[in-house]
Amino acid sequence: MNKDSNSQDNKLRLQVFLAHSGLASRRACEKIILDGRVTVNGQVVTELGSKVSDSDIVKVDGKQLSLEKKKCYVLLNKPAGYVCSSSDEKGRAVAVDLLKDAYKERLYNVGRLDMYSKGMILFTNDGDFAAKLSHPSSQVEKEYIVETSQDIPEDFPKKFEHGIRVDNVFYKCLKCQILKARKLDIVLIEGKNREIRTVLESQNIGTKSLVRVRIGSVKLNNLKPGEYRELTEREVKSLLGEKL
């Protein structure tokens, strides 16, 4: 095999390079490319099939990126009041900033919690991990403890498990259990934007507190709001559905 073909083999698709540099998930990186925000050796590149190597100078919004050498997988107990985004145009507090003093790597959130929700959120710089975990086929369970402003009707859990349509959107949980008159345990697989709050509001039930306590086999346990820890290798494999 000649030198040129070796060089070609070592190249990565641009969106993969961006994801492995810790910029964002691969899908988000594809949009960044299509939006014309990426340059390679000074030229704007908008084609998703483009390939780059370590010797190429890749920049996003004028800032140069390089491949991350260490892959990070971090679990944060997100307090209320933080948004799940790399930055916020409204100047609100960003959850990833709670990790910036501990990690020099560029981390981004896998999935989201809305600003007022609390609990487990995962951060990584591994684009493959983020893509696999975010894909609907992963079927990863997410468990929430919800406190409400009104008493919960006895028939609500069965309704939500069978499916509730709100404004032409169908919402369906995997499991729903009443723990107390105003406290629920809900397990989702798909998890649409603000799903639990929307469904409760459709039944005239207000959400007082919403905490995500489990993602797959990984539990929040005693981690306090604002605290974080790295996932174990076993936990990462478990989330990806790999053999332990």
Of 225, 1, 15, nearest to 121 by C-alpha is: 225
Task: Express each pLDDT in 43-56 by its tens digit.
Answer: 999 999 899 987 89
Q: Which residue has the higher pLDDT, 86 or 79?
A: 79
Q: What is the pLDDT of residue 186?
A: 98
Q: What is the pLDDT of residue 85?
A: 82
The CA distances from residue 136 to 16, 58, 107, 190, in Å, are 20, 31, 22, 6
Q: What is the pLDDT of residue 163?
A: 95
Q: Which residue has the higher pLDDT, 179 or 135?
A: 179
| Predicted TM-score (pTM) of this structure | 0.77
Of the candidates 88, 114, 155, 167, the residue annotated as catalytic is 114
Q: What is the pLDDT of residue 244?
A: 64
Q: What is the pLDDT of residue 237?
A: 92
In this structure, what is the dihedral angle of CA atoms 23, 85, 128, 242, given to the nearest 10 degrees?
150
Asked if residue 89 has pLDDT above 90, the reply is no
Q: What is the pLDDT of residue 23?
A: 84
Task: Express each pLDDT in 8-33 by its tens digit.
Answer: 557 888 998 898 887 887 888 999 99
Of 148, 162, 141, nearest to 200 by C-alpha is: 148
Task: Express each pLDDT in 188-240 by its tens digit.
Answer: 997 788 999 999 999 999 999 999 999 999 999 999 999 999 999 999 999 99
Sign of CA dihedral 215, 221, 226, 228: negative
Q: How confident is the model at residue 3 (pLDDT cuts 50, 70, 90)?
A: very low
Residue 114: active-site member = yes
> 227 near 77, Cβ under 8 Å?
yes
Q: What is the pLDDT of residue 9?
A: 53
Q: How far apart are CA 54 and CA 197, in angstroms?
A: 45
Q: What is the mean predicted confidence (pLDDT) over 65-90?
A: 87
Of 220, 201, 82, nearest to 142 by C-alpha is: 220
Listed in sequence order, the residues at least 6 apart from 76 whose beta carbon sits closer than 8 Å to its beta carbon are: 95, 98, 99, 120, 121, 122, 123, 227, 228
Tokens of 195: 């799903």
Q: How confident is the model at residue 4 (pLDDT cuts 50, 70, 90)?
A: very low
Task: Express each pLDDT in 112-152 by its tens digit.
Answer: 899 999 999 999 988 889 888 888 788 899 999 999 999 99
The CA distances from residue 142 to 22, 80, 136, 138, 214, in Å, are 24, 18, 13, 12, 6
Q: How far apart are CA 195 and CA 170, in angstroms?
A: 10
